[in-house]
Amino acid sequence: MTSQRPTSSDPRRAIPSTDRLLALPEVVAAGQRLAPQVIRRLITELQATARRGEIPPEAVEPRTVEAVQTARSSELSTVLNATGVVIHTNLGRAPLSNPARQALQTAAGYVDLELDLDDGKRSKRGAWAQAALLAKAPDAQDALIVNNGAAALSLATTALAVGQGSPEVIISRGELVEIGAGFRLPDLITSTGTRLAEVGTTNRTTLADYRSAITEHTGALLKVHPSNYWIGGFNATVTTKQLGALAAEKGLPLVVDVGSGLFEPDPVLPDEPTIAQALRDGADVVISSGDKLLGGPQAGLILGSKAALHKLAKHPLARAFRADKFTLAALEATLNAPSTPVYDALHADIEVLYARSSRIAEALDADVVPHQGRVGGGGGAGVPLAGWAVSVPESFARRLRTGSPAILPRVAEGRCLLDLRCVPPGHDDVILQRLKDLAAEDAA
Ligand SMILES: *Cc1c(COP(=O)(O)O)cnc(C)c1O
């Protein structure tokens, strides 16, 4: 085997050594932010690039300095959401309000999560977040906070389906839904050994269907809001109120998964079920997500009767699903804040959207076109959010996404559309400047 070692005349010998690069003052300074192995990896990569002849040996040193100075501790990037989709799953669903962001900062250190600072004794974990939740839902007797809506549903059905023999919950065939990305609620529920007793048909289910399905195995009745689809035409569903009455008559708990976490009715979303109404209609347990319409952190919110919540809290899965301090802190701050970015985006004034879009379009000689935003995130299925978009060439889209900050537009019908509904107003000028730069690039 012939040796691949560089000879004395080989330019690769001029590649600076790792020790030399590590001793550069800028590299030493970067050691405050980056772990040694991260810095070594950057150096090794650049040396390898030079060895392959892709950059000259003398470029390794300046490139190392540049690499350590621009390297970030987290690759997560801020994105300006110009899609008009309010709860954008690929963008992390709900953006948090400023109070919630501050709460996350506080939670990052040692905090009195399970400690009463008054008497120095252990206290109930996250009691303040729970209190804020109960203040928002006065019809609930008790509340529990878990990791997400899926965990909440799994915990509720598992802990309550304790009928004799093989426990089961009764659900309408019209509510066996897939929420997104292959996440199917029936699979989740049955994964803990709970059986589903399916009643009715896809389009029609009656109260009699539920009634006749109740056996000694029945542990609970379940109603799921099919967040992302709706049935028109010949159909029938049983209301929460009717199910609540049947559950009470049979002494069974009724679990209602409302999905999106709307506490009170919202005229923008007339068909969205609310937590308050589900409780008033007789649900023993109401489940929702924290990062959909509530506009908070990822969380599963469980509200309901003392007896039912006690069973859930005692179940071993409650510990596996329990929310961390960040969730509890951000959730409490969200509940106590006057508004959320999600609420503001959903209720954006169409005149204001037009004025903002026009100001950008005029500066660019571009068009403003009508554009329908969406609620997104498996909520408000089919509800259009009338608004406007700045229309620029499709070729802008990729450059907008890959610039800094990243700007995510919508690409449709051969155009790149920027809907400002979910863009904080203070960022309009950032978008305008980037569009100007891209237009100038193309004109050059
Ligand atoms: C979104 C949703 C879920 C899942 O909640 P996650 O917080 O995403 O886990 C469950 N049920 C319904 C009806 C939903 O809309």
Displacement of CA 269 from its chain's centroid (Å): 19
Whole-number Å distance between alpha carbons of 228 and 289: 14
Span of 6-10, 326-330, 384-388 with lowest mean pLDDT? 6-10
Span of 183-187, 252-256, 356-360 with lowest mean pLDDT? 183-187
Whole-number Å distance between alpha carbons of 216 and 60: 74
Q: Is 302 in the pocket of ligand 1 (CB under 6 A)?
A: no
| CA 347 to ligand 1 centroid distance, Å | 23
pLDDT at 369: 98
Which residues are bridge partners to 199 per DSSP?
172
- From the number of C-beta atoms within 10 Å of its C-beta (0-12, 13-18, 19+), residue 253 rates as buried
pLDDT at 41: 97
- Is the pLDDT reported for residue 403 higher than 70? yes
Give the count of beta carbons closer than 10 Å to the beta carbon of residue 418.
Answer: 31
Whole-number Å distance between alpha carbons of 407 and 346: 20
Residue 425 binned pLDDT confidence (cut-offs 50, 70, 90):
confident
| SS3 state at 46 | helix
* Closest ligand 1 atom, residue 300 Cα: 7
| CA 150 to ligand 1 centroid distance, Å | 6
pLDDT at 1: 47
Q: One-letter amino acid identity for 91?
A: L
pLDDT at 165: 76
DSSP state of 122: E
Q: Is 157 in the pocket of ligand 1 (CB under 6 A)?
A: no
Q: Give the mean model confidence (pLDDT) for residues 307-313.
A: 97
Which residues are bridge partners to 180 per DSSP?
183
| SS3 state at 183 | strand
Q: Is 223 in the pocket of ligand 1 (CB under 6 A)?
A: no
Written as six digits, the tokens of 327 are 């969730």
Written as six digits, the tokens of 39 are 């810095």
Which residues are bridge partners to 168 per DSSP?
195, 218
Q: One-letter amino acid identity for 300?
A: G
- Is the pLDDT reported for residue 197 higher than 90? yes
Strands 254-259 and 218-224: parallel
Q: Is 150 in the pocket of ligand 1 (CB under 6 A)?
A: yes
Q: Of 350, 375, 361, 359, which Cα lies nearest the Cα of 415? A: 361
As a whole number, the mean pLDDT across the chain is 94
| CA 296 to ligand 1 centroid distance, Å | 14
| CA 242 to ligand 1 centroid distance, Å | 23
Q: Whose CA is nearest to atom 5 of ligand 1?
A: 149
Residue 23 binned pLDDT confidence (cut-offs 50, 70, 90):
very high
- Is the pLDDT reported for residue 378 higher than 70? no
Q: Is 278 in the pocket of ligand 1 (CB under 6 A)?
A: no
Q: Choose one of 153, 179, 298 to mutate for the ligand 1 pocket test, by most ligand atoms within 8 angstroms of C-beta.
A: 179
- Is the pLDDT reported for residue 424 higher than 60? yes
- Is the pLDDT reported for residue 2 higher than 60? no
Strands 384-393 and 367-374: antiparallel
Whole-number Å distance between alpha carbons of 237 and 123: 44
Q: Is 272 in the pocket of ligand 1 (CB under 6 A)?
A: no
Whole-number Å distance between alpha carbons of 379 and 88: 11
Whole-number Å distance between alpha carbons of 367 and 142: 52
Give the count of beta carbons closer than 10 Å to the beta carbon of residue 318.
Answer: 19
Q: Which residue has the tokens 């379009």?
A: 361
Whole-number Å distance between alpha carbons of 262 and 268: 12
Q: Which residues contact 333 (CB under 8 A, 6 or more apart)?
A: 97, 99, 100, 102, 103
